[in-house]
Amino acid sequence: MTVASDVKTCTAGLKHAEAVFSKLALMSNDPTSKEIFHESMMSLHEVIEQMNQRIYELENHEPQYQGF
């Protein structure tokens, strides 16, 4: 695997975790738990945005990773 594909695989896993936290936040009846799940989801969202930026940089500025 290349660095670019590893970063994309990691990002996909983070998106899955973000979706799980979102679902848990919606399903939770406890306000404290709901808030914790929501905050966790938002934290992951920030990391995903950073990962997407890195993917963009890899694909557009690193010739060996173009097209991955």
pTM of the model: 0.84
**Domain coordinates of the chain in residue numbers?**
3-62
- pLDDT given for residue 68 in this prediction: 58
- The b/e string for 12-28 (b: 16+ C-beta within 10 A; e otherwise) is eebeeebeebbebbeee
| pLDDT tens per residue, range 19-37 | 999 999 999 999 999 999 9
Angle at 22 between CA 28 and CA 26, to 5 degrees: 30
